[in-house]
Amino acid sequence: MVVAHRGASGYAPENTLAAFRLAIEHGADMIELDVQRTIDNRLIVFHDTTLRRTTNGKGYLARKTFSQISGLDTGSWFNHKFANEHIPLLDDALALLRNKIYVNIEIKPSATQDTTLPLLLSSLRRHKIESYVLISSFHHGVLKKIKDVAPNVATAIIQHPSASFRSPVISARRVHADAIVCSIHQISHSRCNDARVHGMPVCVYTVNTHRALAKAIRCGVSAVVTNYPAEIAKYIKNLRDNIS
């Protein structure tokens, strides 16, 4: 599977509806996006803890209401033609993506509080998208909480680079996760084989070059996360055509 990292973020500003539309157009199988919560309990699609890098605002996101950030320009930093892009609500993103593509929702640190999980699960139910969603996080404990209340929702641990010496399968089974996500630098034949024996797909990030993709394929991963879904999908197709 080709997973578009924060949408087609090599072609459009990350975590915007524009990036999600492009990912669909470029043939991605899944979109990865980041979820955080504003101070007034609105779930939004945004990666950083602060606003400065990808908007014309400043300050900590968790201290802002949605009305304070909803009008910010989150596209001009990438290219002036995206000046009309804004921080989307999770509901708006799911409404766009429903029935079009699978979605990997990464829970960021500010979204690990107990108050966030009911909002997230309620949003998934409201859009009837539970069967098409994978929830992932570096914070493995929150995934167990999700499984406790919504066992049918698929989850994946993200293996922290500093924990690369640990068995990802052990970490995943501890919180009843269904899959493993790790860096391209962490994967190996032995880790992927171990995951395969235990029925756990492995997804690697961030695969932006043919060389990185070749390594992922040699190791037998199930999915690759990329900023350039069109190029990676094309390269995979060429490999399949050559094999056939």
- Identify the band that residue 113 occupies on the pLDDT scale cut at 50, 70 and 90: low
Alpha helices in 135-185 (DSSP H): 140-149, 168-174
Q: Is 5 a catalytic residue?
A: yes
pLDDT at residue 164 in the model: 59
For the segment 2-54, what is each residue's pLDDT rounded down to a tens digit?
A: 999 999 999 999 999 999 999 999 999 999 999 999 999 999 999 999 999 99
For the segment 155-174, what is each residue's pLDDT rounded down to a tens digit?
A: 999 998 776 556 899 999 99
Alpha-carbon distance of 123 to 7, in angstroms, equals 20
For the segment 198-242, what is each residue's pLDDT rounded down to a tens digit?
A: 999 999 999 999 999 999 999 999 999 999 999 999 999 887 777
pLDDT at residue 111 in the model: 54
For the segment 114-147, what is each residue's pLDDT rounded down to a tens digit?
A: 688 999 999 999 999 999 999 999 999 999 999 9
Q: Which of 26, 47, 139, 140 does the annotation list as catalytic?
A: 47
pLDDT at residue 182 greater than cutoff 90: yes
- Report residue 1 as tokens: 């599977």
pTM across the whole model: 0.95
pLDDT at residue 162 in the model: 74
More confident residue, 112 or 15: 15
Domain boundaries, the chain: 2-34+88-243
Alpha carbon of 47 to those of 15, 104, 127, 175, 226: distances in Å? 8, 14, 22, 24, 16
pLDDT at residue 110 in the model: 58
Alpha-carbon distance of 19 to 30, in angstroms, equals 12
User: Amino acid identity, residue 16?
Assistant: T
pLDDT at residue 115 in the model: 82
- Identify the band that residue 79 occupies on the pLDDT scale cut at 50, 70 and 90: very high
Q: Is 185 a catalytic residue?
A: no
Q: What is the CATH number of domain 2-34+88-243?
A: 3.20.20.190
Q: Which residues, including other chains, have CB under 8 Å from residue 35's CB and lie 6 or more apart?
A: 43, 44, 45, 90, 105, 106, 107, 108, 111, 116, 120
- For residues 182 and 196, is the Cβ–Cβ distance under 8 A? no
